[in-house]
């Protein structure tokens, strides 16, 4: 059955609770010290209500292509609570064998029995936040796990029956060396992970670690090392910060990167409607989110934005330059763009795509300087 027009095939559900707040985190998440008894059930009730309001308005396609449970730390939500949330959702939609259903998890909240229940529910992919395997760096970042806990958690995921497991690392951590990155990559890829995300640590200028961040030159060296090492381990560098084994790209994230539609649930969740070129966002406060849904039976949307043509063009280039598919040469229309493309080809920041005829794409070095390329080409 074709998807109902105007309905969504990709969902993001934001779970706002965490063990404690990491020092670099800018997501909407509440550490245990910021939560009180009853918050988890208040959140569950609100999210179920949000699902019903959206469901009654026909927001769900009959079959979901991707579902992503992010946060926060969704793995802190009891499997029974997760089951209640999804039995509400499955009154309106369903999944099939092609649905990618991902849950983010942290090593400190991964237990075998619990993950067997998530697996039985239908979750078929886990993205685990390792961030570092250096005990000192983990403390510096404010993470609550140690390297041993990360390995125990990873092994529990495989034992629970997950065959599509991604891990996250951070690079650009103050004091991190190439040897650290080398040993982290070696240790993780020794296990049967199918995907690895390596994000560059970025901090605002007032942050206490800002002055200790590595120089641009050092970062570039590290990013190029990661590219080379991950390719040698058999992973495709398909997006600026993401590497996948064949057939294991993150389908949900590809919806974001290709400008597809997705519907967000939970406090602070964003949504995007491709046809309407509209973005909207929920309140970034558990209280305001729940109050709107439970007390007023109103969707908790804080703002909606219709993209103008300039924003659409910028997005188009941003998305194309972060993916290994790149962009078709027809996009290069003005003389300024043509001159810049020529220069970037000479500087090895762009290259002809090896298999897609008439496409250009960012090189590994171009990925690291993508902000510069985007600004120059989005005219």
Binding site for ligand SF4 (CB under 6 A): 18, 21-22, 25, 27, 29, 71-73, 106, 129
CB of 73 to ligand SF4, least distance (A): 5
Q: In this complex, which beta carbon is closest to ligand SF4, that of residue 93 or of residue 108?
A: 108
CB of 142 to ligand SF4, least distance (A): 7
CB of 28 to ligand SF4, least distance (A): 8
Q: In this complex, which beta carbon is closest to ligand SF4, that of residue 17 or of residue 162?
A: 17
CB of 25 to ligand SF4, least distance (A): 3
Three-class secondary structure assignment of the chain: CCCCCCCECEEEEEECECCCCCCCCCCCCECHHHCCCCHHHHHHHHHHHHHHHHHHCCCECCECCEEEEEECCHHHCCHHHHHHHHHHHCCCCECCCCCEEEEEECHHHCCHHHHHHHHHHCCCEEEEEEECCCHHHHHHHCCCCCHHHHHHHHHHHHHCCCCCEEEEEEECCCCCCHHHHHHHHHHHHCCCCCEEEEEECCCCCCCCCHHHCCCHHHHHHHHHHHHHHHHHCCCEEEECCEEECCCCCCHHHHHHHCCCCEEEECCCCEEEECCCCEEEEECCCHHHHHHHHHHCCCCCEEEEEECCHHHHHHHHHHHHHHECCCEEHHHCCCHHHHHHHHHHHHCCCEEECCCCCCEEEECHHHHHCHHHHHHHHCC
Q: In this complex, which beta carbon is closest to ligand SF4, that of residue 75 or of residue 99?
A: 75
Q: In this complex, which beta carbon is closest to ligand SF4, that of residue 44 or of residue 168?
A: 168
Q: In this complex, which beta carbon is closest to ligand SF4, that of residue 9 or of residue 104?
A: 104
CB of 3 to ligand SF4, least distance (A): 31
CB of 118 to ligand SF4, least distance (A): 17
CB of 46 to ligand SF4, least distance (A): 19
Q: In this complex, which beta carbon is closest to ligand SF4, that of residue 103 or of residue 362?
A: 103
Q: In this complex, which beta carbon is closest to ligand SF4, that of residue 22 or of residue 318?
A: 22
């Amino acid at each position: 059955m074709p998807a109902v027009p105007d309905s969504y095939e990709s969902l993001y559900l934001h779970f706002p609770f965490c063990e404690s707040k990491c020092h670099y985190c800018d997501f909407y998440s509440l550490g245990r010290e910021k939560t009180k008894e009853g918050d988890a059930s208040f959140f569950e009730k609100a999210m179920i209500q949000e699902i019903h309001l959206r469901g009654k308005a026909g927001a769900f396609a009959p079959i979901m292509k991707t579902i992503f449970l992010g946060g926060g730390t969704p793995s802190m939500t009891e499997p029974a609570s997760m089951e209640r949330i999804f039995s509400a959702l499955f009154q309106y939609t369903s999944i099939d064998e092609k649905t990618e259903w991902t849950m983010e998890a942290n090593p400190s909240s991964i237990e075998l029995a619990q993950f067997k229940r998530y697996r039985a529910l239908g979750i078929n992919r886990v993205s685990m936040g390792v961030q570092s395997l250096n005990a000192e760096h983990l403390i510096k970042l404010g993470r609550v796990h140690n390297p041993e806990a990360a390995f125990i958690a990873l092994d529990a995921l495989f034992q629970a029956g997950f065959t599509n497991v991604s891990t996250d690392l951070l690079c650009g951590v103050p004091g991190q060396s190439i040897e650290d990155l080398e040993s982290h990559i070696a240790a993780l890829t020794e296990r049967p992970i199918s995907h690895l995300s390596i994000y560059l640590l970025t901090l605002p200028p007032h942050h206490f670690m800002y002055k200790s961040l590595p120089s641009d030159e050092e970062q570039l060296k590290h990013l190029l090392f990661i590219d080379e090492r991950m390719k040698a381990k058999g992973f495709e560098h398909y997006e600026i910060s993401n590497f996948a084994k064949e057939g294991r790209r993150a389908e949900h994230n590809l919806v974001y990167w290709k400008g597809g539609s997705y519907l967000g649930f939970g406090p602070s969740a964003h949504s995007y409607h491709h046809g309407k070129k509209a973005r909207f966002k929920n309140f970034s406060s558990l209280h305001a989110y729940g109050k709107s849904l439970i007390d007023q039976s109103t969707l908790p949307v804080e703002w909606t934005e219709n993209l103008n043509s300039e924003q659409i063009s910028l997005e188009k280039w941003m998305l194309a330059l972060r993916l290994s598919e790149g962009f078709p040469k027809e996009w290069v229309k003005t003389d300024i763009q043509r001159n810049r493309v020529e220069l970037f080809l000479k500087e090895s920041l762009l290259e002809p795509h090896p298999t897609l005829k008439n496409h250009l794409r960012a090189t590994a070095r171009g990925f690291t300087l993508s902000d510069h390329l985007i600004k120059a080409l989005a005219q």
